[in-house]
């Protein structure tokens, strides 16, 4: 399984080719370890066995983070980096990063949300892949050092470019440690390397990428008050209309018991669509008059949820991994649900449904009938992990080991979703996706690879990928991905 991922027409330098091959071959067994442990942790284990399995998972995750940073840093040194030029919505880009990192945030008990500081958010032209990598590193770094609270990503459009602010409620950074924070092999404090297993490359990569884009990165922080990392990049606005032309809803929407970052993001977007956000006083439990819809946090006591739902139409806001509780919230009087990090289009649609008095229809999560999924992956361990994870969530799964097998299987089974590994023998995932789309295949195809770079992501989308996901995907992440692309939210995947 060492075939090059690029065709001769797209040949890379020897240094880049070596890094791509080494990256894939090292990550593949590590992905197998992490995926198998995720399945093991879902079985009945003794306390000691669970502790050992958790130790393997944490050690493997740290090793993967280290490997990713070392390879990214080496790739920047290998040769000159070519910048891509494409049109993109920065709010959608930030939301994609948040969705990728949400499982990590929720596992740590943290809230993660994206907020548009200016509205509407224009379309820009530039290298979206490099900017996505900057955000991924900054948000991942914030989650790593935040023990409780939230991480909030602000997107601020400017006339001459764009600014992102990644705000956390972590321990803060002393002024003496901020000076050399963006240097390679530096941690914010001496003990951090031992606490998180890193080597201080993540922020150095952010700095180099920001410089490459002609921008700048900075940090503002005080001990005990969290930190804010800022990225400012000069970009040209395009003439394309904004990606989210949302209706002006009007009315009043109550926010009850939601996590902090989600509350701040919701208040901003509701105001932008001419809707008054109302913070509900939970101590009294009273809903102010003329509040026509409530957004209720899933962590509130059941009796409080039921009492609120009796006063106004209520939508419960929960994590993807909590969808199994939707039926219980129905019994408490909730008319529907939203998953965080929130999608703007889903927010508007479901507020309108709640106001109309209708229940949200077709919730595959509670029906057990997920549909047919095709997994194209030549690694038997990866295929086993994906099959077991999805079958326990109600999906019927077929596995193909090559791109040509995937073509035959797609015609035979008509899947609702394809997970396509990009590096396979005989026919790689790029060519398989290209042929599927040429044959009129319309279902979502998610390109999956251990090696995701801006160049690979661009090629995958050009070949017909609906989305791109980086291995390893643990069992819950695989289920969330499949639900997203085959259920209500997935049907509106293009909306921010």
Q: Helices 14-40 and 380-391, interaxial angle, to 10°?
A: 40
Nearest to 339 by CA among 143, 174, 493, 145: 493
Question: What residues contact residue 157 under an 8 Å CB cut-off, 6+ apart?
Answer: 90, 117, 118, 121, 122
* pLDDT over 90 percentage in the chain: 31
- Could you tell me the CA-to-CA distances from 239 to 88, 122, 233, 243, 308 in Å, in that order? 12, 9, 19, 12, 45
Confidence of residue 309 (pLDDT cuts 50, 70, 90): very high
Confidence of residue 6 (pLDDT cuts 50, 70, 90): very low
Question: What residues contact residue 224 under an 8 Å CB cut-off, 6+ apart?
Answer: 171, 172
Cα gap 397→410, rounded to integer Å: 12
pTM of the full predicted structure? 0.70
Q: What is the pLDDT of residue 254?
A: 94
If you average pLDDT over residues 134-144, what whole number do you get?
Answer: 90
Phi–psi pair at 379, nearest 5 degrees? -90, 115
Phi-psi region of 141 (alpha: psi -120 to 50; beta: other; left: phi over 0): alpha
pLDDT digits (tens, 9 = 90+) for 25-75: 677 777 777 777 877 877 788 878 878 888 787 777 777 777 776 666 666
Q: Kindly report the length of the chain.
A: 496
Confidence of residue 190 (pLDDT cuts 50, 70, 90): very low
Confidence of residue 365 (pLDDT cuts 50, 70, 90): very low
CB 16 within 8 A of CB 72: no
pLDDT digits (tens, 9 = 90+) for 446-485: 998 877 777 788 889 999 999 888 777 777 778 878 887 8
Q: Is the peptide bond before 393 cis (omega within 30 degrees of 0)?
A: no
CB 235 within 8 A of CB 162: yes
How far from the centroid of its chain's Cα atoms is residue 177's Cα? Answer: 30
Question: What residues contact residue 470 under an 8 Å CB cut-off, 6+ apart?
Answer: 100, 448, 449, 450, 452
């Amino acid at each position: 399984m060492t075939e090059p991922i690029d065709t001769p027409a797209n040949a890379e330098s020897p240094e880049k080719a070596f890094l791509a091959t080494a990256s894939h071959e090292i990550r593949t067994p590590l992905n197998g370890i992490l995926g198998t442990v995720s399945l093991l942790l879902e079985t009945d284990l003794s306390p000691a066995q669970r502790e050992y399995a958790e130790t393997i998972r944490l050690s493997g995750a740290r090793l993967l983070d280290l490997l990713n940073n070392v390879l990214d840093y080496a790739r920047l040194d290998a040769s000159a980096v070519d910048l891509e030029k494409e049109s993109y919505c920065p709010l959608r880009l930030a939301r994609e990063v948040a969705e990728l990192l949400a499982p990590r945030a929720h596992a740590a008990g943290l809230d993660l949300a994206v907020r548009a500081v200016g509205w509407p958010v224009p379309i820009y032209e530039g290298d979206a892949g490099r900017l996505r990598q900057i955000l991924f590193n900054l948000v991942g770094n914030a989650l790593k050092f935040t023990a409780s609270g939230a991480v909030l990503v602000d997107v601020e459009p400017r006339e001459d470019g764009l600014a992102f602010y990644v705000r956390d409620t972590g321990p803060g950074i002393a002024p003496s440690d901020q000076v050399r924070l963006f240097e390679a092999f530096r941690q914010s404090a001496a003990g951090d390397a031992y606490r998180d297993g890193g080597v201080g490359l993540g922020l150095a990569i952010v700095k180099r990428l920001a410089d490459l884009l002609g921008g700048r990165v900075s940090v503002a922080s005080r001990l005990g008050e969290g930190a804010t990392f800022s990225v400012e990049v000069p970009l040209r606005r395009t003439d394309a209309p904004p990606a989210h032309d949302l209706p002006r809803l009007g009315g009043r929407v109550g926010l009850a018991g939601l996590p902090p970052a989600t509350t701040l993001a919701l208040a901003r977007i509701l105001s932008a669509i001419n809707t008054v956000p109302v913070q509900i006083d939970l101590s009294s439990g009273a809903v102010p008059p003329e509040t026509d819809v409530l957004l209720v946090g899933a962590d509130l006591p059941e009796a409080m949820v039921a009492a609120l739902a009796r006063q106004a139409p209520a939508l419960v806001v929960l994590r993807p991994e909590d969808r199994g509780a939707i039926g219980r919230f129905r019994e408490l009087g909730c008319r529907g649900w939203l998953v965080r990090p929130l999608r703007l289009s889903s927010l508007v649609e479901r507020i309108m449904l709640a106001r109309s008095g209708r229940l949200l229809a077709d919730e595959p999560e509670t029906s057990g009938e997920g549909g047919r999924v095709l997994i194209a992956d030549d690694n038997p361990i990866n295929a086993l992990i994906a099959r077991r994870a999805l079958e326990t969530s109600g999906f019927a799964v077929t596995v193909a080991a090559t791109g040509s097998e995937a073509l035959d299987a797609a015609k035979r089974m008509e899947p609702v979703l394809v997970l396509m590994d990009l590096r396979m023998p005989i026919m790689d995932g790029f060519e398989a996706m290209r042929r599927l789309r040429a044959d009129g295949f319309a279902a979502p195809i998610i390109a999956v690879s251990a090696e995701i770079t801006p160049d690979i992501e661009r090629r995958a989308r050009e070949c017909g990928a609906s989305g791109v996901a980086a291995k390893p995907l643990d069992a819950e992440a695989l289920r969330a991905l499949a639900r997203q692309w085959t259920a209500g939210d997935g049907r509106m995947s293009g909306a921010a």
